Structure 1
Amino acid sequence: MAGVARRRLDAELVRRKLARSREHAGQLIAAGRVTVGKTLATKSATQVETAAAILVTQDDSDPDYVSRGGHKLAGALAAFVPQGLTVEGRRALDAGASTGGFTDVLLRAGVAHVVAVDVGYGQLAWSLQSDERVTVKDRTNVRELTLEAIDGEPVDLVVGDLSFIPLGLVLPALVRCTAPGPIW
């Protein structure tokens, strides 16, 4: 007799389209929003039956960005927009885009176009990869970025989440890709 089919909880959430990715599934589990049967889930790696009843509760106060990184930029925009920063209609560069949390926030804030740059490959959320307002530049080291690499059109807004490289090493490349003029 065949055994009952089992799968990691995070993978099962993605398979059922209850989460966008395993990372997102982990965030839902960590936030206490996932129950299996009548038990609150606490670990992404928990093995669950593929037929198990799984419930994900909605958090209406959470804008549900494609990654947690979006909350960082959303907080920064909330602080800087009252000081005069405008993002609407701008062409932006997201340095170290990864899953695309910053790109997601920028698009929701009205940016016209985002060039999403990351040294990795295939990490950007599919919803952003398929958005015509996004140009994906995978396998691109920000230190070596040139205006030509971003299709020859300068950006007028740069955001970035670069935790593995000193800012001093990337600033020259970012300046090369930025339109002249005031910061805001």
Structure 2
Amino acid sequence: MRLDQYLVEKGLAKSRTWAKQLILEGKICTNGYILSKPSLEIKGVLLESLEQNLTLIPKRFISRAGQKLWHYLEKYPIDCYNKVILDVGSSTGGFAQVLLEKGAMRVICVDVGKDQLDPSLKTHPQIELHERCDIRYFKTSTMHDLLTCDVSFISLHLLLKTLLPLSRRYLLLFKPQFEVGRFVKRNKRGVVMDFNATRQCLENFIKEAQGYGLKVMRIEESGLKGKEGNVEFFIDLQR
């Protein structure tokens, strides 16, 4: 049985069209994993998992980034309650929204862009916004309880040294499309097709982080792919 049909039969969607929309929006989850293919065959272990732990996510996220972070933290909780968190590459505020929902006392949003943060967050009393600000030139004396990072069009290698003094705990989103270089094979949408290159870049980054004395707490594939279909990874580091 297909996933979309399963949702209809269980009464979670009124039609297969409705079920397909829920699936493509990343709202069907089991044991922390997002099920993103309407045609996914439901049988065996997966069927057992769905019967025991199927989650239909009702909330609307500001962005896909928020969905990615929410699913990661549901599976691997990081204590955000009453914490001061620095969000690098805040963009529309997907990460910031989730961090506030998880109890953050204050979220400092830093982004090189302007007028991107969702209006609901721009006026939020617990948000401190720094627009048109490259994190490499961000000045602060605060030691943040947690640093989250979701950046595009720049490699994490170029930022790691800058991030080190800003926190002791880091949750970074590793995006292969901005790490492997221009000459690695991609499809028409820019999705990296050379998985060996992705693995090598990820390993190199981890070695660099360890060289700075950071402990790798976890490396986990994001439950939701990038917008064009790239497989991305959360890297949890601590010092």
Same fold, TM-score > 0.5, yes or no: yes
Matched, 1:63 2:38: no
Query: What does residue range 37-116 of structure 1 map to in structure 2 within 5 Å?
Result: 61-81=57-77, 85-116=78-109
| Structure 2 counterpart of 1:155 | 144
Measured against aligned partners, the alpha-carbon deviations of 1:119-156 in whole angstroms (never above 9, x if no partner) come to 00010011111011110010001222232xxxx32211
Q: Kindly state the Cα deviation for residue 161 of structure 1 after the two structures are TM-superposed.
A: 1.0
Query: What does residue range 13-52 of structure 1 map to in structure 2 within 5 Å?
Result: none
Measured against aligned partners, the alpha-carbon deviations of 1:77-108 in whole angstroms (never above 9, x if no partner) come to 11221xxx311111101110000000000000
| Structure 2 counterpart of 1:172 | 161
Query: Which sections of structure 2, spanning at least 5 residues, go unmatched?
Result: 1-20, 26-55, 170-214, 216-237
Paired residue type of 1:98: S
Q: Is the 8 A contact 2:147 2:166 kept in 1?
A: no
Q: Secondary structure at the match of 1:78?
A: helix
Q: Kindly state the Cα deviation for residue 163 of structure 1 after the two structures are TM-superposed.
A: 2.3
Paired residue type of 1:164: F
| Structure 1 counterpart of 2:44 | none
Q: Secondary structure at the match of 2:109?
A: strand
For these two proteins, the number of residue pairs brought into alignment is 122
Measured against aligned partners, the alpha-carbon deviations of 1:38-79 in whole angstroms (never above 9, x if no partner) come to xxxxxxxxxxxxxxxxxxxxxx83311211210010111112
Q: Is the 8 A contact 1:98 1:124 kept in 2?
A: yes
Measured against aligned partners, the alpha-carbon deviations of 1:153-172 in whole angstroms (never above 9, x if no partner) come to 22110111112111111112
RMSD: 2.7
Q: Is the 8 A contact 2:84 2:104 kept in 1?
A: yes
Q: Is the 8 A contact 1:146 1:173 kept in 2?
A: no
- Identity over the aligned pairs, expressed in percent? 34
Distance 1:61 1:176 in 2: 36
TM-score by length of 2: 0.46
Paired residue type of 2:157: G
Distance 1:72 1:139 in 2: 24
Query: Which sections of structure 1, spanning at least 5 residues, go unmatched?
Result: 1-26, 32-59
Distance 2:98 2:59 in 1: 10
Q: Is the 8 A contact 1:117 1:142 kept in 2?
A: yes
Distance 2:65 2:58 in 1: 13
Distance 2:150 2:124 in 1: 21
TM-score by length of 1: 0.59
Q: Is the 8 A contact 1:94 1:160 kept in 2?
A: yes
